[in-house]
Structure 1
Amino acid sequence: MSSEKSKYIVSAEWVERQLGAPGFRVVDASWYLPAQNRNGAAEYSAGHVPGAVFFDQDVVTDRTSPLPHTVPSPEFFAAEVGKLGISESDTIVVYDGPGIFSAPRAWWLFRLMGAKNVYVMDGGLDGWKREGRPLQTDLPEPAPADFHANFNPYAVTSFEEMRGIVTTGSRQIADARSAGRFTAKEAEPRAGLRSGHMPGARNLPVGLLSTDGRFKDLASLKQAIEDAGIDLSRPVVTSCGSGVTAAIITLALHSLGHEDNTLYDGSWAEWGGRTDTPVVTGEA
């Protein structure tokens, strides 16, 4: 396992070779926090991987939820990605700007909805540009496709389930936020949220899982997870600020063959925004 990479990670070089192949779809899933001062849609319009379609993580969501970019219904997801020309049987490669930030959330969503062949492009669009690979500014007009969703509800943890997990300790909780936010030394970027973490949670800042936008090798991922106090032989639920970067830990777990994991979709936006949930500050 010394330098072996995740089977879900593909190189920009490989992606470039596949461009235009039948059933090969590239998806720009760039999404940013306000503090990053980047706009995914604007950057996509300015230049993207040739043939890539833009997957808006603030649009393909549950419109009835007050929380940001929550999991949409399978029917809505299927309709929206069908408009993008994507079928569940396609080979789907997702990327974001920096490399390993918002793309894993889209990777998780496509898999959650039944797509099997879904990958994340290492290095992101930033790396693609640095390497001088071709860019397209025209907006593609893909032929509509039928995406037949096969939703896996067991991969998503609800608020009530999360409350039970915190009470019983039935699953380990891996929190992807920064150490400062986890310990409450830093304020949350979203207004109205308490700082701190769920009782029993372990902190695994996702910056530890990649270097310069490239996912670390399996041995390094395993070390980072174990160093956070997470036992890979036990069930895990991942969480973060709003359900996006939690998927980076989910990607790492699946890369290591850990299948008994779920993602808490409401994450801290939900837990920290309520007044009836226990919150702990300081180190875990």
Structure 2
Amino acid sequence: MSPLISVDNFLALCGQSKPFLLDASALLPGETSSPAELFAQGHIIGSQYFDIELFSDPQSLLPHTVPSAGRFASLMGQMGISDKDCIVFYDQGNVASACRAWWLATLFGHANAHILHGGLPEWRARNLPVTNAPTPAFAPVSYLSHTTYKRVVGLGDMQAIVASASRPILDARSEARFYGQAPEPRPGVASGHMPGARNLPYKNVLDTNGLFLPAEKLKAIFQDLGVSEPDSAVTTCGSGMTAAVLTVALQAAGLGAGALYDGSWAEWGSTPGVPVTTERAP
């Protein structure tokens, strides 16, 4: 089932129940605006700001890595959200952050989680209302997490996958970064890619308006890259953010979300001894 919910379907859902709407906007490399400040200036009425940096492991040296199940559950509960509630993520335009938030929620077993297709830009394009008024705080509730470990892989898992070529690996970074023709934005990180990985820049699964391509087109793209079995693909990128765009696209294409390499290239490219290549696949 696709995690994407159209604006029309979201409005219909609001008429039947009261989903929690969460602006999960976060910065990608090269961006300088403050998502939290932009949220304060204008957001969908009733939404809360979902700070991905807060929903990350504070002890990790890598960017916005997965938090503990207890931390995730505590923060969700403080926002008044239980594990049974319907949640809908959106972002202010970069697509990736809402996808990362959705993946994070599903990793911890939140079944009723969705992404507002097109996010705030699509909402504004429909001339629907936004506000700069603070959303009243919700009363804290209990949240019970259920970690779905198959949705995430770590460094050791990734080393085994690369060595055995046992699963298709999809890298969402730009072609120039993938082939080592452009430097990585993070210092001390090698250029190139994992042997056997296939390059699929995340923008290639989106149309010119930032909306996901139709399911049949997505499926054809993934099949051309060797993804044929459900839940077989592993997605990766620079820091685990845009990889989630491919994860969502896989799910929308009916191929299952597979797994996401949380450390992504920020970890792989800074780990001594792991294989790195800049060669093009035959």
TM range (shorter): over 0.9
Please state if 1:184 is matched with 2:183.
Answer: no
- Equivalent in the alignment of 2:243: 246
8 Å CA contact retained: 1:174, 1:202: yes
- Equivalent in the alignment of 1:237: 234
The CA distance in 2 between the partners of 1:180 and 1:206, in whole Å, is: 13
- Equivalent in the alignment of 2:258: 261
- Equivalent in the alignment of 1:173: 169
- 2:237 partner amino acid: C
* Structure 2 runs not aligned, ≥5 long: none
- Structure 1 segments of 4+ aligned residues over 3 angstroms from their partners: 16-23
Residue 154 of structure 1 deviates from its aligned partner by 2.1
**Among residues 22, 30, 39, which one is paired with 2:25 in the alignment?**
30
8 Å CA contact retained: 1:122, 1:213: no
- Equivalent in the alignment of 2:54: 59
The CA distance in 1 between the partners of 2:58 and 2:243, in whole Å, is: 21
Change (3 A) 1:19 1:260: closer
8 Å CA contact retained: 2:215, 2:254: no
- Percent identity, aligned pairs only, is 40
Cα deviation, 1:10-42, whole Å, max 9, x if unaligned, reads: 112332444486441111010122413332111
- Equivalent in the alignment of 1:102: 97
The CA distance in 2 between the partners of 1:72 and 1:240, in whole Å, is: 19
**Among residues 4, 13, 17, which one is paired with 1:9 in the alignment?**
4
Q: Aligned pairs, how many?
A: 278
* Structure 1 runs not aligned, ≥5 long: 1-5
Change (3 A) 1:84 1:245: same
Residue 282 of structure 1 deviates from its aligned partner by 3.5
Residue 77 of structure 1 deviates from its aligned partner by 0.1
SS of 2:30 mapped into structure 1: helix
**Among residues 142, 153, 157, which one is paired with 1:157 in the alignment?**
153
Change (3 A) 1:142 1:253: same
Residue 254 of structure 1 deviates from its aligned partner by 1.9
Residue 48 of structure 1 deviates from its aligned partner by 0.7
**Among residues 122, 138, 142, which one is paired with 2:138 in the alignment?**
142
SS of 1:129 mapped into structure 2: helix
8 Å CA contact retained: 1:99, 1:122: no
TM-score by length of 1: 0.92
- 1:194 partner amino acid: A
Residue 214 of structure 1 deviates from its aligned partner by 1.0
Cα deviation, 1:95-153, whole Å, max 9, x if unaligned, reads: 11116221111111111111111111111112212222111212221222221101112
The CA distance in 1 between the partners of 2:203 and 2:69, in whole Å, is: 31
The CA distance in 2 between the partners of 1:99 and 1:275, in whole Å, is: 32
SS of 2:96 mapped into structure 1: coil
**Among residues 63, 69, 90, which one is paired with 1:74 in the alignment?**
69
Change (3 A) 1:260 1:93: closer
Residue 83 of structure 1 deviates from its aligned partner by 1.2
